Amino acid sequence: MENWPSSNNRNPIRILTNFERFPLHWKCLERAGTAQIVHGARQLLWNSSDADLILINGDVYGVLLLVMAFRLFPFFRKPLVAVDLVLRKPEGWRSQLAAWIKKKLLARVDHFVHYFRNLEGYRKYYGIDADRSSFVHFKANLYDGLKNQTMRRRFQGRILRVFAPMARDFHSRRRVE
Protein backbone atom coordinates (compact mmCIF):
# COMPACT_ATOMS: atom_id res chain seq x y z
CA MET A 1 0.00 0.00 0.00
CA GLU A 2 1.28 3.37 -0.94
CA ASN A 3 0.14 5.02 2.31
CA TRP A 4 1.52 2.42 4.74
CA PRO A 5 4.51 3.41 6.82
CA SER A 6 7.57 2.07 5.00
CA SER A 7 9.17 -1.06 6.45
CA ASN A 8 12.58 0.34 5.43
CA ASN A 9 12.01 3.44 7.53
CA ARG A 10 12.95 2.79 11.16
CA ASN A 11 11.36 5.95 12.55
CA PRO A 12 8.79 5.27 15.27
CA ILE A 13 5.25 4.79 14.02
CA ARG A 14 2.60 6.98 15.62
CA ILE A 15 -0.73 5.18 15.93
CA LEU A 16 -3.97 7.00 16.60
CA THR A 17 -6.54 4.64 18.10
CA ASN A 18 -9.69 4.33 20.15
CA PHE A 19 -8.59 1.04 21.78
CA GLU A 20 -8.89 1.77 25.49
CA ARG A 21 -5.87 -0.21 26.69
CA PHE A 22 -3.57 0.14 23.70
CA PRO A 23 0.02 0.54 24.95
CA LEU A 24 1.23 4.12 24.68
CA HIS A 25 4.71 2.82 23.82
CA TRP A 26 4.84 -0.41 21.84
CA LYS A 27 7.27 -2.67 19.98
CA CYS A 28 6.44 -5.34 17.42
CA LEU A 29 9.15 -7.34 15.66
CA GLU A 30 11.60 -4.72 14.43
CA ARG A 31 9.22 -1.76 14.58
CA ALA A 32 8.31 0.41 17.54
CA GLY A 33 6.30 3.48 18.17
CA THR A 34 3.84 5.41 20.23
CA ALA A 35 0.07 5.55 20.39
CA GLN A 36 -2.44 8.21 21.20
CA ILE A 37 -5.79 7.06 22.53
CA VAL A 38 -8.79 9.19 21.61
CA HIS A 39 -12.53 8.99 22.24
CA GLY A 40 -15.13 9.67 19.59
CA ALA A 41 -15.11 10.49 15.91
CA ARG A 42 -14.41 14.18 16.47
CA GLN A 43 -11.17 13.50 18.37
CA LEU A 44 -10.16 10.93 15.73
CA LEU A 45 -10.56 13.52 13.03
CA TRP A 46 -8.95 16.34 15.01
CA ASN A 47 -5.81 14.30 15.87
CA SER A 48 -5.41 12.40 12.59
CA SER A 49 -2.81 14.77 11.13
CA ASP A 50 -0.24 13.71 13.77
CA ALA A 51 -0.63 9.96 13.10
CA ASP A 52 1.15 7.56 10.76
CA LEU A 53 -1.60 4.96 11.09
CA ILE A 54 -5.18 5.11 12.35
CA LEU A 55 -6.57 2.03 14.10
CA ILE A 56 -10.31 2.19 14.88
CA ASN A 57 -12.09 -0.40 17.00
CA GLY A 58 -15.82 -0.97 16.51
CA ASP A 59 -16.74 2.58 15.50
CA VAL A 60 -18.52 2.46 12.14
CA TYR A 61 -19.45 6.15 12.40
CA GLY A 62 -15.84 7.13 13.14
CA VAL A 63 -14.55 5.13 10.18
CA LEU A 64 -17.11 6.64 7.81
CA LEU A 65 -16.40 10.17 9.09
CA LEU A 66 -12.66 9.77 8.56
CA VAL A 67 -13.15 8.33 5.08
CA MET A 68 -15.35 11.29 4.12
CA ALA A 69 -12.86 13.77 5.60
CA PHE A 70 -9.97 12.13 3.75
CA ARG A 71 -11.99 12.32 0.55
CA LEU A 72 -12.54 16.06 1.04
CA PHE A 73 -8.97 16.69 2.21
CA PRO A 74 -6.80 13.99 0.57
CA PHE A 75 -3.56 15.54 1.86
CA PHE A 76 -4.64 14.49 5.41
CA ARG A 77 -5.14 10.86 4.37
CA LYS A 78 -3.50 8.22 6.56
CA PRO A 79 -3.61 4.41 6.41
CA LEU A 80 -6.84 3.33 8.07
CA VAL A 81 -7.38 -0.04 9.79
CA ALA A 82 -10.90 -0.87 11.02
CA VAL A 83 -11.26 -3.52 13.71
CA ASP A 84 -14.48 -5.34 14.63
CA LEU A 85 -16.99 -3.32 12.63
CA VAL A 86 -20.48 -4.71 13.10
CA LEU A 87 -22.38 -4.26 9.83
CA ARG A 88 -25.86 -5.69 9.63
CA LYS A 89 -27.56 -7.29 6.66
CA PRO A 90 -29.61 -4.56 4.95
CA GLU A 91 -33.34 -5.20 4.93
CA GLY A 92 -35.69 -2.79 3.22
CA TRP A 93 -34.89 -0.11 0.70
CA ARG A 94 -33.58 2.44 3.23
CA SER A 95 -31.04 0.09 4.75
CA GLN A 96 -30.07 -1.14 1.27
CA LEU A 97 -29.41 2.45 0.21
CA ALA A 98 -27.41 3.04 3.40
CA ALA A 99 -25.44 -0.18 2.77
CA TRP A 100 -24.66 0.97 -0.79
CA ILE A 101 -23.33 4.30 0.52
CA LYS A 102 -21.30 2.53 3.23
CA LYS A 103 -19.92 0.16 0.59
CA LYS A 104 -18.63 3.10 -1.44
CA LEU A 105 -17.06 4.71 1.64
CA LEU A 106 -15.62 1.49 3.11
CA ALA A 107 -13.81 0.89 -0.18
CA ARG A 108 -11.39 3.58 1.04
CA VAL A 109 -10.44 1.67 4.23
CA ASP A 110 -7.01 0.06 3.87
CA HIS A 111 -7.54 -3.03 6.04
CA PHE A 112 -10.17 -4.73 8.19
CA VAL A 113 -9.65 -7.00 11.20
CA HIS A 114 -12.49 -9.40 12.00
CA TYR A 115 -13.24 -11.83 14.82
CA PHE A 116 -15.01 -14.18 12.37
CA ARG A 117 -13.96 -15.95 9.17
CA ASN A 118 -17.09 -15.93 7.02
CA LEU A 119 -17.02 -12.68 5.04
CA GLU A 120 -19.75 -13.60 2.56
CA GLY A 121 -22.28 -11.03 3.80
CA TYR A 122 -19.63 -8.35 4.24
CA ARG A 123 -18.41 -8.98 0.69
CA LYS A 124 -21.89 -9.06 -0.80
CA TYR A 125 -23.34 -5.99 0.91
CA TYR A 126 -20.29 -3.89 1.84
CA GLY A 127 -17.52 -4.90 -0.59
CA ILE A 128 -15.23 -6.13 2.20
CA ASP A 129 -13.36 -9.22 1.04
CA ALA A 130 -10.49 -11.42 2.22
CA ASP A 131 -7.89 -9.40 0.29
CA ARG A 132 -8.30 -6.48 2.69
CA SER A 133 -9.14 -8.51 5.78
CA SER A 134 -7.49 -10.46 8.58
CA PHE A 135 -9.03 -12.90 11.04
CA VAL A 136 -8.05 -12.70 14.71
CA HIS A 137 -9.29 -15.17 17.31
CA PHE A 138 -11.78 -13.69 19.73
CA LYS A 139 -12.45 -15.25 23.16
CA ALA A 140 -15.77 -16.70 22.01
CA ASN A 141 -14.07 -18.29 18.98
CA LEU A 142 -11.62 -20.24 21.11
CA TYR A 143 -14.11 -22.88 22.30
CA ASP A 144 -13.46 -25.17 19.33
CA GLY A 145 -9.78 -25.32 20.18
CA LEU A 146 -10.35 -25.94 23.90
CA LYS A 147 -7.70 -28.44 24.98
CA ASN A 148 -8.22 -28.29 28.72
CA GLN A 149 -9.97 -31.56 29.57
CA THR A 150 -10.52 -30.47 33.17
CA MET A 151 -12.62 -27.55 31.95
CA ARG A 152 -14.60 -29.83 29.65
CA ARG A 153 -15.30 -32.30 32.46
CA ARG A 154 -16.41 -29.50 34.77
CA PHE A 155 -19.07 -28.29 32.30
CA GLN A 156 -19.92 -31.60 30.62
CA GLY A 157 -23.65 -32.02 29.99
CA ARG A 158 -24.47 -28.47 31.04
CA ILE A 159 -25.66 -25.74 28.76
CA LEU A 160 -23.67 -22.54 28.60
CA ARG A 161 -25.58 -19.45 27.63
CA VAL A 162 -24.09 -16.05 26.87
CA PHE A 163 -26.13 -12.88 27.32
CA ALA A 164 -24.44 -9.86 25.81
CA PRO A 165 -25.37 -7.17 23.29
CA MET A 166 -22.58 -8.18 20.91
CA ALA A 167 -24.48 -8.63 17.59
CA ARG A 168 -22.23 -11.52 16.66
CA ASP A 169 -23.13 -14.27 14.22
CA PHE A 170 -22.55 -17.15 16.59
CA HIS A 171 -24.93 -19.24 18.62
CA SER A 172 -24.97 -18.26 22.27
CA ARG A 173 -26.31 -21.59 23.46
CA ARG A 174 -24.06 -24.64 23.35
CA ARG A 175 -24.06 -27.97 25.11
CA VAL A 176 -20.58 -28.78 26.39
CA GLU A 177 -19.52 -32.33 25.47
Please give the helix or strand (H or E) that residue 160 lies within, else none. Answer: strand 159-161
**pLDDT for the residue numbered 132:** 94
Report the DSSP pairing between strands 159-161 and 173-175: antiparallel
Cα–Cα distance, 145 to 152 (Å, whole number): 12
Give the DSSP per-residue string, 118-134: --HHHHHHH---GGGEE
pLDDT of residue 137: 79
The rounded percent of the chain whose pLDDT value lies above 70 is 72
- What mean pLDDT do residues 90-101 have? 94
pTM (2 decimals)? 0.74
What's the pLDDT at 121? 92
CA distance 146 to 35: 33
Residue 153: pLDDT band with limits 50, 70, 90: low
Out of 4-8, 31-35, 134-138, 157-161, the most confident range is: 31-35
- Cα dist from 103 to 24, 65, 67, 107, whole Å: 32, 14, 12, 6
pLDDT of res. 33:
92
pLDDT above 50: residue 94: yes
- CA distances to 30, 93, 136 from 58, rounded to whole Å, are 28, 25, 14
The structural domains of the chain, with segments of one domain joined by +, span: 13-136, 138-177
Q: Where residue 76 falls among pLDDT bands split at 50, 70, 90?
A: confident
pLDDT exceeds 70 at position 150: no
Instruction: Report whether 120 contacts 127 (CB < 8 A).
Output: no
Range with top average pLDDT, 44-53, 92-101, 160-169: 92-101
Q: What are phi and psi of 92, to 5 degrees?
A: 95, 160
CA 150 centroid distance within chain: 33
